[in-house]
Amino acid sequence: MESVAHFENIFREALESVLLGMDCADLKKIHWLVWDTDCCEEESADFAEAA
Amino acid sequence: MDGYSFVELNEELLGKIRDQWKAKIEALPDEAIDILWPTYQRTVGWCEKYVDPNQESGDLWLHVVVDGDGCPVALVELTNAHRAKDPSIKFLNIDLEPSSIMNLQDSVDQESLGKVLNVIMFAITSAFAIAINQVRKFKIYGRDDEIVSVFDALIAKHMNDPEQPFNIYRQQRWLVIEAV
């Protein structure tokens, strides 16, 4: 549990340091914050293949 | 964290995604519906295949972040490659519920953004906890340069931490975390 809490702390700090303060146009470049209205159905499977 | 839970996608949660996310989209202006509706249909269709026992989903492992009221607030795409030569759990993507996404917004509400980041953090931390317990290796895919910047900031921070309980590094666009 200690490693999970540690990871959460450092990831949150990094995420907030980059994202908080960004303007709307830049935030829309972040895939996690938008729905990709152009992507194809097989795209996620492609990610898995590429891993 | 905020009463969220992290649950593998099942028929009940799919029903909630289908109904509640549809209602949220239908409450938007017509122009917004036109933009989001095809993605909604594609996502629901994909989830239907996942919960269908007659369909093969391979290593794909879909989860849902559920809020304290039982409402689905995000769909999380993981793969669980525990039988691979190099076992790991991979975090591929997160799809937020329609009212949280940035597609149609013209300005940033910092309070709303903070809530969204809480959901994302909960999803990543939950997947990380599963990965470290099961296969001891977790990977996160950075599809855009902004998230890769987050990875680099995290690595820089971690390098200065003398009591690190895991190794953390970047492999092309993947952030890799391994238990020591």
Q: pLDDT, tens digit, for every residue of B109-153?
A: 999 999 999 999 999 999 999 999 999 999 999 999 999 999 999
Q: Assess contact for A47 and B92: CB atoms under 8 A.
A: yes
Domains of chain B: 5-141 (3.40.630)
Complex confidence, ipTM: 0.93
How close is the nearest chain A Cα to the Cα of B87, in Å? Answer: 11
* A25 shares contact with chain B (CB less than 8 Å): no
d(CA B96, CA B19) in angstroms, rounded, equals 15
In 10 A of CB B165, how many CB atoms? Answer: 15
What is the C-alpha to C-alpha distance for residues B100 and B106, in angstroms, rounded to an integer?
A: 13
SS3 assignment, position B52: coil
The series of mean pLDDT values per 10 residues for chain A, 51 residues long, is 86 93 93 84 47 44
End-to-end CA distance of chain B: 26
Q: Which residues are paired to B77 by β-bridges?
A: B62, B93
pLDDT of residue A40: 52
With an 8 Å Cβ cutoff, is A9 touching chain B? Answer: no
Report chain B residues whose CB lies below 8 A from the CB of A28: 102-103
- Which residue from B90, B117, B125 is facing A51, i.e. has the nearest CB? B90
More confident residue, B31 or B74: B74
